[in-house]
Structure 1
Amino acid sequence: MFVQKIIKATYGVIYSLFSFENERSQRGRWDVCGWAKKYAANRSVQDRKARTAGMMLIENAGAESGG
């Protein structure tokens, strides 16, 4: 139940943030979906960069420790 409350609150915040899209066009929800997809695509690129940087750090640490 607690998790559902958090999800509903988060959704409410997100939807209120993008409510201006509703005023501009009737397909506000779809604009939010498009934004979410764009954001997710950007996130995956950033995650990949962060992951490769993390792997390099791990490899360097392993080499320094003689592992």
Structure 2
Amino acid sequence: MDDSEILRRLETLRSEHRDLDAAIDALLATGSADQLQIARLKKRKLKLRDEIAMFEDQLIPDIIA
């Protein structure tokens, strides 16, 4: 993947991460939230965060100190 593809993928992942955050907040605000569903959404959100970190690392050049 080149840098432009990585940047597009990062934007997609960040958008999905924000959407999951909003969905979790909405479920918690209702008060009658399904804890299993919330746990699944949080797990997906953590997976997205890991993917985002991986792609961000690919954009930073390796510097040997």
Q: What is the TM-score with the length of structure 2 in the denominator?
A: 0.44
Q: Work out which of the two has the higher radius of gyration on C-alpha atoms and give 1 or 2.
A: 1
More helix by share: 1
Query: Highest relative contact order (Cα 8 Å, sep 6+), 1 or 2?
Result: 2
Q: TM-score if structure 1 supplies the norm length?
A: 0.42
